[in-house]
Structure formats: C-alpha cells, structure tokens
Structure 1
Amino acid sequence: MHDVAILAVELEFGVGLVLLQVLCTHVTHHPPSAAGRGLERGIVSRSGPGHLDGIPRSARLPFAAGLPGPAGRAPYPGRVPDLAAALSTTLVALGAEPWAAGEPLRAEYAAFLAADPGRVHRTGPEHFTASAMVFTPDLAQILLCLHGKAGFWVQLGGHLEADDPTPLAGALREAREESGLSDVVATRDLPIDLNRHELASEFGRCRAHWDVVYALTAEPRPPVVSPESKDVRWFPTSSLPPNCAPGFEAQVDAALARLRPAQHPAR
C-alpha cells in the first residue's frame, strides 16, 4: 500500500532557495522471498510494477552552475548539475509514455534525485546508473554481456561519468565501450524501463542501482569483449540464455512490447 504525499524539497543554490515540489511515495520495503537466490546471482532484489499518479512538471530541477553538495560535503565534481537536470527533465517527459504514466518508480526516482543530485554519480552506496538494451533493428536479437562480478547475462551498462551530458549519452557510451561496436544508436530519446535493484557483496560499496534503461540498436556484428565482462554475445530475443539476471527475461519482454507498436504503428 502506497501513501501518496507531496514532498517539498528546498535546494540551496549560490543565490536564494528554489522550492521544488515532487510527488513521491512512501513505500514499505519487504525482504525479497528469493533473497538467497538473488545473492547467489549477484542481485538481491528488483523492484516491481505498481500504480501512482504522474509527477508534476514542478519536479523539473532548475539547476545552475556551481551547485553545492549536501551539507558537510564538497561541491559536486564534473557536470553533475547538467546531468542531474537532464535526468529530472527525462523523468518528467517520461510521464507521456503509457507504460510509465502510472509507474510509481518514476516518482520515487524524482524524489531520490531531488534529495541529492550527486546521486547521478557514485557518491554513495545507492546511485543512478544507465544501461542499454541493444537490439538488432528488427528486434530479433539482443546483445548481452556475461557480468564480470555477478556471473549472469544482462544488458550492457554502468555508472554515469562526469562528462556524460545526459543519461542517454551515458548509456550509449557504456554500450560502445562494452561491445566495441561503434554503430550503436538510440531508437528513442526516452528510457524504455526503470529498474531499481539491490546488489550483493560482490559489488563492494555499491548497495543499490537506480538504473535508467534505454533501447538502442546496432547491426549484429561480432562484438569485442571488454575487461568488464567475461563474454559479450548476441542472443535471439525469443531464446535468452538460462543464466540471466533475476527478472531479466520479463524486462526484455516488456521492452519488446513497448518497442514493437512504435516499430509497426497501426494503419
């Protein structure tokens, strides 16, 4: 049961205060029933679907250069204000997507970002990441990596970097770096999924990733395995490998359902 509330967030800039209203939810967390299996696979739990009214456009973060860090911390490095603003704008725009309009994670992402914009980088044990479901143009194949730490097959992706201007740019960079394919392109500007998942001890100080998932395309050329993965391969979307990340098959099915109407619009 979700209790809906309006969270008033005050962000202190070099000049004045900006009052930011973010529609968020207070969620009661329960330990996953398959925690043991998740630990073995490298992921403790993944968030599930739900329903909630959309976040208002007032959730857009009006960032300015020189945004200070939270009390007691040094200023954010790199282009955090730009990247955080881009993510905030993305979350607001995502409300126009039918699948995301009633998704509670969208509001939770907005509140998590507003509480500490530095979370677009790995400033704490929980932070945002960007990943890429790389499909062939006909959606018949998907490019997966055998994760170096977790040992399961999953989409390409990772932490956002200081010079990533947007989450989409981060997803494109990660996909190209981890596959060696230079022709990876975005199929759309907005994410195809949001996936928050807790991590096992193999991931060190990282305890949870708030992942922003994009759909990209590339021709099915042989990929190059990066040092971050044990293997990188193309798989038929109709026949994924058995040792995928927990819940990943359902993620792919949902992404394909969202992409196919756009690929074959009604006449």
Structure 2
Amino acid sequence: MVFAPEEMLLIAGAPTLRRTALDRIAANRFPAYAAALATYGRALQQRNGLLRAIREEQADRAELRYWDKPFLDAGGEIVADRLALLAELARPLAAAHAEIAPDEAARSALGLRYETNAPAAAGESPRAALARRLAETAEKEAWNGSTLVGPHRDDVSFTFDGRDLAAFASRGQQRTAILAFKLAELDLLTALDGRPPLLLLDDVFSELDPERRGHLVRRIAGLPQTFVTTTTLDDLDPALLEIATTWQVIGSPAGAALADPVTAR
C-alpha cells in the first residue's frame, strides 16, 4: 500500500481517481469484483460503439439488447459491492480519523458518500435502478452516441458531517482524511488476509501539524513493515528511530539517487 504526494488529488481531483481507489479495495474484498469490472468494461465498450453507429444510422437499436444484459448484471454487481464496501469502511475510517486527529474527529465525522447517477428507490436493487435509468436515457444516449448512466460515471465524496471536503477543507484536513482512508483500507485488508500489507508513506508529514504527525507516527509504529520517506528525521518519534533502519538518500552529480549504508541518527 502506498501513500504518495499524488494521493492528494483523491479528494479534489477527477472522479476516476476515486473510482479507481474504491475498485482496488473492492477487488481485494470481493472475489468476483474484478471479473464483474472486466465484463462491465467490455459491455460498455460495445454499447458505446453501437450507440455511435446508431447515431450515424449504421446500426439498429435492437442490437443493444445483446449487450444490455451483461452491462446491467455486472453494473448492478459493481454498485452493490461498492455500497457494501463503503459500509464496511465506515467504522475503520472513523477510528483512523480519531487516531490521527482526535480533536477534529470529536467535532466532525469523516465519511464516504457514494454518488450514483442511478439511485435506487426504496426496495429497488442497484441492477433494477440501472435498468430503469438506462430506459429513461435511451433517446439521449442514441443522440450522444455514448452510455450516459452506470458505475463508470459514479463518484465517491469524502465528507465531514455530510459536507463535501473538496468544497471547503484545507490541505491539512484533506491530507488527514486521505491518510485515514488509507489506514482504513490497511485495517480492512489486514482483517481479510490476517497480516497487514507493506505500507509505503512518501512525504507523508508535509501539511500536517506537529500533533497530527505525532499521532500518525504512533499509529504506524506498531506495523511490522512500513517504509517512510521524509526530508527530516525531526518528524519521527525518537523511540521509533531506535528500532527503525534508516537510510539517507543522496543525489549524485549525474542525477541518480544513491542510498548510503545504514546510518545512525
């Protein structure tokens, strides 16, 4: 598992980044998820090709029916699994947030909200909701030449008390929320596999105040395998440094990165 600087785009960046992050976890959590995602991708590609041909009057709408079933079956499964996953992540996400930023967590509840273009009515399954929306958008799809509804257009929002963090949160708050999300993922994968995955935290301490840095260090100190990159060892607890192996990375004149032998502080 990796936290890198580009992870900061997870909250305010394009929806595809959040879908990809959710899909990665879901593929580990649900055995059939990756296959459903692949089936959905193929059906979506074929539907879009047919819709473009229909727009150019080179195909008949009846041809869509062949691909609608795998599209709906796989799409309904994807949405159902994503919703189930978000429900499972709720508790470890709140716990991780409370560990890193206890004062903030006491004031605002960090959550994840699934935003779908095919919301289900009471008692309606995700597949049935998607089928209904597909029928409702049939004319517009033919005019646009593309599939307008489905999990490929859904999104996930990080929220404080239901408010989207992308709209108001500071960089430090966003970083805290993303770190809590990563730690929640780590806890979920640990529960599934029985052992925590290797964790790599790249430039993780910037934009965190000293208190949150300390909480984060204490949170990761108990993990068996964690790699942390930082520009200064002052961010790390001396007790952690006593048991950690430390390297100093130096840039060579040629621009390559060289790692010194193990060094003491």
TM over 0.5: no
Higher helix share: 2
Higher strand share: 1
TM-score by length of 1: 0.26
The higher radius of gyration belongs to 2
Q: Which structure has more RCO (C-alpha within 8 Å, separation ≥ 6)?
A: 2
